Copies of this chain bind each other. A is one copy, B any other.
Amino acid sequence: MLRLSKLTDYATVILSFMAKNNERVCAAMELATATGIALPTVSKILKALVNAKVLISTRGAKGGYALATVPEKITVATIISALEGPIAVTECSISQQGCEQAAGCNISGHWNVINLAIYNALESVTLADMIKPQETLIPIASLYRLENHHVSQ
């Protein structure tokens, strides 16, 4: 299904909330309450986002988290990478030493093309876009193409 993890999904919810309160420093507890996500989970996500330099943290009383930059500069690609590592659809795209199927497989170059296309798509949407009211909502009809290919497995 080519799915993102739940944690990544949560991260966008948390970051969206923070973007709307742009100036403020938010404590993990506050974010947990605001989003309805359990505190330990929120903490885990925030730590990953700090490591990826998406957020800046302040320790101690009155501490908390704040966006490291403006929402316009935080891309979806960055958020996904922060929680899931590099964006690559196959293992062999990451480890440079090719796969065990080397005999039958010489298609890694093509996966790279696909990776790049996906990366560009993810890089083109920012946190600022995500908190916009959905004027840009796309017509339902165009989504049916996605469903057409579903096969119960």
Contact = CB atoms under 8 A, between A and B. Distances in A.
A3 interface: yes
A149 interface: yes
Interface residues of A, number: 73
A147 B119 CA distance: 11
A147 B2 contact: no
Contacts of A2: 2, 4, 80, 84, 87-89, 118
A44 to B, nearest CB: 9
A104 interface: yes
A9 B143 CA distance: 25
Main SS class of interface, A: helix
Given A112-B143, A114-B76, A16 B82 contact: no
Interface stretch (A22-30, A55-63, A64-72, A126-134): A126-134
Nearest to A115: B146
Nearest to A94: B1
A87 B119 contact: no
